[in-house]
């Protein structure tokens, strides 16, 4: 049996009448980088704080390896924690901030010096030990916070919206740095974010949460390309959500219809001809061309937004209005409003959503 680094079993938390978590269960493998993703108030930070020991669950257990840590206080769990606010001590130097946890552990001074130097080097801040924290940029402060979490050699790393206070360019570079550090150290890491691109870029797996429940768990490819529900499909990226019915099945293909538009989709267990369905088509999966062929359909351009690397199109087809993305557009005038085009969607890109999670 594969070893599990963190096990969460049926965690439930209530704050008054509000259910922050409702029987959430998941497992992290050793060295895995898992991102908790979801809108504000979905319970992702509460789940992280339960694992850290800052929130005591009303029900359920938390285990590190095979050890039950549910009732242990945070300082006995051997975790590293990085907060949204960095939580650095402004009156201490960089080195003193990094050393804080080691001094609490009463480590010998030579060991503290050696581990400070190593931790700062790991986050590419070597030579900054004597610098004042208020002399650092936001990105540098985030690196110091990460070094402080790493220096105690934690059994797992927990990050709560660690990049939300940085500008876009810094977020992009720091997310890659965090993944590099986690993988080089083999750290089991749980990372809370509401940023979809951040999650897709660095996660081994993504846990999408909604209203205190785990909605879907899978690789970035799985949760983006094969969302199970309306909420996952709409939260993770843009999509065209279409309500319709199944007309017929031929082999492993279903012919589905919505608003006069007919598309082919891969057959799905429990979905039969005549059944009402909800399906998702990502805008980048709607191909546009000036001429069509078999299984292509005519559309009329309503609006085009030129964004440099891509064009966002809004097109009409029968009773529907659809969004399409065109990568590397050759001419901004080629898809002018009122133009007649042809469109195509591959059956693998028509994703049938679970009927019991449409709400």
| Most confident among 86-90, 137-141, 234-238 (mean pLDDT) | 234-238
Q: What secondary structure does DSSP assign to 293-338, as a single string?
A: -TT-EEEEEEEEEE-SSEEEEEEEETTEEEEEEEES-S-TTTT-TT
Alpha helices in 123-167 (DSSP H): 138-151
Q: From 1.10.10.10, 3.40.1160.10, 2.40.50.100, 3.40.30.110, which CATH number describes the 238-357 domain?
A: 2.40.50.100
pLDDT digits 0-9 by tens, 203-237: 999 999 999 999 999 999 999 999 999 999 999 98
| In the chain, where the domains are located | 6-227, 238-357
Q: What is the mean pLDDT of the chain?
A: 90
User: Residue 358: is its pLDDT beyond 70?
Assistant: no
Range 97-121 average pLDDT: 86
Q: Is 238-357 the same fold as 6-227? A: no
Question: What CATH homologous superfamily does 6-227 map to?
Answer: P-loop containing nucleotide triphosphate hydrolases (3.40.50.300)
Query: Residue 354 has what DSSP assignment?
Result: P
**Alpha carbon distance 175, 146 (integer Å):** 12
For 255-277, b where at least 16 C-beta lie within 10 A, e where not — what string?
A: bbbbeebebebeebeebeeeeeb
pLDDT the model gives residue 112: 86
pLDDT the model gives residue 110: 86
pLDDT the model gives residue 87: 81
How many CB atoms sit inside 10 A of residue 4's CB?
A: 16
Residue 331's pLDDT band, with cuts at 50, 70 and 90, is low
**Between residues 142 and 215, which one has the greater pLDDT?**
215
């Amino acid at each position: 049996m594969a070893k599990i680094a963190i096990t969460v079993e049926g965690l439930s938390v209530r704050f008054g009448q509000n259910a922050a978590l409702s029987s959430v269960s998941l497992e992290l493998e050793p060295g895995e980088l898992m991102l908790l993703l979801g809108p504000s108030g979905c319970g992702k930070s509460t789940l992280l704080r339960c694992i850290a020991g800052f929130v005591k669950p009303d029900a359920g257990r938390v285990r590190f390896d095979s050890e039950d840590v549910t009732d242990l206080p945070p300082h006995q769990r051997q975790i590293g924690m990085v907060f949204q606010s960095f939580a650095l001590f402004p009156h201490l130097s960089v080195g003193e901030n990094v050393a804080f946890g080691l001094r609490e552990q009463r480590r010998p001074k030579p060991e503290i010096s050696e581990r400070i130097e190593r931790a700062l080097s790991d986050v590419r801040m070597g030579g900054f030990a004597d610098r004042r924290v208020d002399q650092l940029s936001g990105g540098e402060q985030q690196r110091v916070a990460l070094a402080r979490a790493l220096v105690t050699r934690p059994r797992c790393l927990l990050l709560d919206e660690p990049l939300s206070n940085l500008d876009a360019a810094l977020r992009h570079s720091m997310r890659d740095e965090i993944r590099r550090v986690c993988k080089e150290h083999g750290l089991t890491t749980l990372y809370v974010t509401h940023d979809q691109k951040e999650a897709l870029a660095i996660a081994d797996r993504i846990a999408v949460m909604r209203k205190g429940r785990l909605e879907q768990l899978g690789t970035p490819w799985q949760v983006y390309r094969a969302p199970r529900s309306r909420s996952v499909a709409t939260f993770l990226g843009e999509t065209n959500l279409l309500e319709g019915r199944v007309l017929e099945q031929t082999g492993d293909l279903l012919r589905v219809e919505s608003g006069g538009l007919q598309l082919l989709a891969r057959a799905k267990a429990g979905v039969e001809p005549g059944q009402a369905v909800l399906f998702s088509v990502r805008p980048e999966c709607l191909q546009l061309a000036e001429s069509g062929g078999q299984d292509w359909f005519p559309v009329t351009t309503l609006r085009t937004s030129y964004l440099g690397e891509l064009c966002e199109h809004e097109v009409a087809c029968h009773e529907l209005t659809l969004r399409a993305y065109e990568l590397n557009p050759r001419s901004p005038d080629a898809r002018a409003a009122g133009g007649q085009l042809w469109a195509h969607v591959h059956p693998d890109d028509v994703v049938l959503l679970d009927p019991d999670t449409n709400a």
